[in-house]
């Protein structure tokens, strides 16, 4: 049993005993107060009392009447008053009787009387002690142990191993070396190799950094201490640094051991930044962490692992060799990794015969491990909703689009004018995609409202893409402008549905000019700096270019967008018959799959029927940002007055 539990039970028993003593005394006192005070005095006046004893401390009177053999008790309200009332009767009795009255005044008090008299103070002390014990227990906000680190040690039950981590072979190899070092240090010491003191896992959210750390805990045969970066900083000054010291003290007592700090950017941000010069308590915590990792103290046998998706804001002193000697980038999985991840998350889920995980992996470019897990979970929920015994390709397809855009809203009332506008808008996107970005073919076109979108055109790349060229980015701008151009060409009007398209197109053009050096006029120069996350820097940041350059940047961005607009207009004018064909078919069927769209653009006859069983096995993917360019641009357009937000997580 835990010590704290025993202590609480002891206090409870003590309180119950004190309450019982009080009740017994009150009961005894109540049972001894039968006669009135005047009646007792009258007994002495009538000379009926032959013997008595008075306790001067408690006021308890023990007396015996004439012709009685038993003593009776009575608690007088005031000892002094009682003595004053009976002393005349005692003197008179002794004068008139040959046998004097026997009496005694007792000066000492009984332990019960002492206990009762001091009971309020005793109870108060007990309550204070109980409150102190409760506040001293380990946990948040407790007085004594507030400086203790809230460490979670790896559970001895089910452990995550490297067998459950897929799509990160190189990352596992790097971490396996550390585990092997801990198990067999002599193998490396013979060659003069030293164990890395710190390993930093860096990568986008959802790529499996924490999962890798849990797998290290499952594989390592040494103690593993896990803590979040936000658990260090508290309301009280100095608590963060004290918790860092306590954490490393525990790790040193159990070395060799591993310390894992999740979301280290919560405490490891750059010092001296922010409005007013920074956060003193957080910076002191960071300073203590730096000293513990590489200071005068001996820290051998303790490896610090940390995870973050914001390595750009970490303090440079934290990243130098000697502290975090090794940085492991955990990025988006490739097609092979996605298939392995799907196999891991498909365990325990019955899959239909039409499911091919390799095909799903090809069509999920840009998905992280968390995205793939969510995809299969949503598909399982959809299959359960339909009372099916297995997950089919239909649920996979629906789950892909549901995760990206949202659920279908077939019950939403859409006027014919809006349906026609949406049909031409999405047809414009699709045709512009077909001719401007042939490497990212159209996957699906729909005018069925989903989420906040009135319709969408979805495209996906044929292969994994690591970089984007200038022509690729220009083609993406053309496809984004296809809806706006189609509205203007066919309907002779424009709508608010293209506002999000224009915003994304302008952002791409600005990146081309200021970030990637794609402007012929301004040259291969980066203008401005990355957006900062600290409020203080935003106020003090100054531009690194003149007003004339700022004007040239604005002109260049406008020229790029206008050139792409003209190029899109030319494409739609040359294929106006295709535009009408696709729009009319969308008005009739509400949805066109990628294979059918390709046949229509190649002049082939469309299939007479299509249904869920004929849908493409490919599912929709999330596009990456312009930096990684790991996926094609996805078009999501709204027919509402306020257009749908981009589904690109990086936009």
Please state whether the peptide bond connecting residue 256 to the residue before it is cis, i.e. omega within 30 degrees of 0. yes
Pairing verdict, β 198-202 and 326-329: parallel
Closest CA to 341 of 356, 361, 355: 361
Torsion, Cα 430 431 433 435, to 10 degrees, reads 160
Where b means 16+ CB within 10 Å and e means fewer, 85-112 reads bbeebbeebeeeeeeebeeeeeeeeeee
Helix segments in 137-207, DSSP class H: 169-183, 185-189
* Residue 102: HSE in the Cβ half-sphere, 13 Å Cα cutoff: 8
Round to whole Å and give the CA distance between 511 and 526.
9
Residues 244/167, Cβ–Cβ less than 8 Å: no
Residues 442/430, Cβ–Cβ less than 8 Å: yes
Element (H, E) at 257: strand 257-262
Contacts of 81 (CB under 8 A, 6+ apart): none
Helix segments in 489-545, DSSP class H: 499-514, 535-540
Round to whole Å and give the CA distance between 132 and 126.
10
Residues 512/519, Cβ–Cβ less than 8 Å: yes
Chain center to CA of 607? 48
Torsion, Cα 334 335 337 340, to 10 degrees, reads 170
Round to whole Å and give the CA distance between 199 and 261.
10
Asked about 607 being catalytic, the answer comes back as no
Radius of gyration of the chain (CA): 42
Contacts of 149 (CB under 8 A, 6+ apart): 227, 231, 232, 243, 244, 246, 247, 250
Tell me the three state secondary structure of residue 202: strand
Closest CA to 213 of 261, 169, 180: 261
Q: What is the end-to-end Cα distance of the chain in Å, rounded?
A: 54
φ, ψ (nearest 5 deg) of residue 79: -65, -45
φ, ψ (nearest 5 deg) of residue 274: 100, 165
Pairing verdict, β 224-228 and 152-153: antiparallel
Given 154, 426, 487, 634, which residue is catalytic? 426
Q: Could you tell me the CA-to-CA distances from 420 to 51, 238, 584 in Å, in that order?
A: 116, 65, 8
Round to whole Å and give the CA distance between 54 and 326.
87
Residues forming beta bridges with residue 302, ordered by sequence position: 257
Chain center to CA of 16? 44
Residues forming beta bridges with residue 456, ordered by sequence position: 446, 636
Q: Which residue numbers are catalytic?
A: 426
């Amino acid at each position: 049993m835990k010590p704290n539990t025993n202590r609480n039970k002891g206090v409870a028993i003590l309180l119950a005993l004190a309450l019982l003593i009080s009740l017994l005394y009150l009961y005894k006192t109540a049972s001894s107060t039968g006669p009135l005070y005047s009646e007792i005095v009258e007994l002495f006046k009538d000379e009926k009392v032959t013997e008595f004893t008075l306790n001067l401390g408690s006021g308890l009177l023990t007396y015996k009447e004439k012709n009685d053999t038993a003593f009776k008790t009575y608690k007088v309200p005031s000892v002094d008053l009682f003595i004053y009332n009976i002393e005349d009767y005692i003197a008179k009795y002794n004068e008139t009787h040959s046998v004097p009255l026997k009496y005694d005044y007792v000066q000492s008090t009984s332990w019960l009387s002492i206990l009762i008299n001091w009971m309020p103070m005793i109870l108060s002390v007990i309550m204070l002690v109980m409150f102190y014990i409760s506040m001293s227990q380990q946990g948040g906000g407790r007085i004594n142990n507030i400086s203790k680190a809230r460490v979670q040690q790896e559970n001895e039950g089910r452990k995550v191993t490297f067998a459950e981590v897929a799509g990160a072979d190189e990352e596992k190899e790097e971490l396996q070396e550390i585990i092997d070092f801990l198990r067999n240090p002599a193998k490396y010491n013979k060659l003069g190799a030293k164990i890395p003191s710190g390993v930093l896992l860096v990568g986008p959210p959802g790529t499996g950094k924490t999962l890798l750390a849990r797998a290290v805990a499952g594989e390592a045969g040494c103690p593993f201490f896990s803590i979040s970066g936000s658990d260090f900083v508290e309301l009280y000054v100095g608590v963060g640094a004290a918790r860092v010291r306590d954490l490393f003290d525990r790790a040193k007592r159990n070395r060799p051991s591993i310390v894992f700090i999740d979301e280290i950017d919560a405490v490891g941000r750059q010092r001296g930044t922010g409005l007013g010069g920074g956060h003193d308590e957080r910076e002191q915590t960071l300073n203590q962490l730096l000293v513990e990792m590489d200071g005068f103290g001996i820290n051998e046998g303790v490896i610090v692992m940390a995870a973050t998706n914001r390595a750009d804001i970490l303090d440079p002193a934290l990243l130098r060799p000697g502290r975090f000697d090794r940085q492991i980038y955990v990025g988006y999985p490739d097609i092979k990794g996605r298939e392995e991840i799907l196999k891991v998350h498909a365990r325990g889920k019955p899959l239909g015969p039409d499911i091919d995980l390799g095909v799903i992996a090809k069509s999920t470019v840009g998905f992280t491990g968390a995205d793939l897990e969510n995809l299969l979970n949503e598909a399982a929920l959809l299959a359960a909703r339909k009372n099916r015994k297995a997950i089919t390709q239909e649920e996979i397809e629906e789950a892909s689009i549901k995760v990206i855009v949202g659920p279908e809203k077939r019950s939403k009332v859409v006027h014919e004018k809006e349906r026609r506008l949406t049909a031409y808008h999405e047809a414009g996107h699709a045709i512009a995609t077909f001719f401007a970005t042939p490497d990212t073919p159209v996957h699906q076109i729909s005018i069925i409202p989903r989420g906040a979108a009135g319709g969408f055109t979805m495209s996906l790349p044929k292969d994994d893409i690591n970089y984007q060229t200038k022509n690729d980015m220009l083609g993406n701008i053309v496809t984004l402008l296809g809806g706006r151009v189609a509205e203007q060409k066919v309907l002779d009007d424009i709508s608010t549905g293209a506002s999000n398209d224009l915003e994304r197109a302008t952002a791409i053009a600005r990146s081309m000019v200021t970030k990637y050096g794609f402007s012929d006029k301004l040259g291969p120069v980066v203008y401005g700096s990355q957006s900062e996350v600290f409020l203080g820097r935003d106020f003090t940041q100054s531009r690194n270019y003149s007003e004339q350059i700022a004007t040239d940047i604005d002109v260049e961005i406008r020229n790029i967008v206008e050139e792409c607009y003209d190029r899109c207009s030319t494409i739609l004018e040359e294929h106006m018959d295709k535009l009408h064909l696709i729009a009319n078919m969308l008005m009739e069927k509400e949805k066109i799959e990628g294979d059918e769209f390709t046949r229509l653009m190649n002049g082939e006859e469309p299939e007479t029927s299509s249904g869920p069983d004929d849908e493409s096995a490919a599912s929709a993917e999330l596009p990456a940002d312009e930096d990684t360019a790991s996926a094609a641009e996805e078009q999501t357009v709204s027919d509402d007055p306020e257009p749908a937000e981009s589904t690109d997580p990086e936009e």
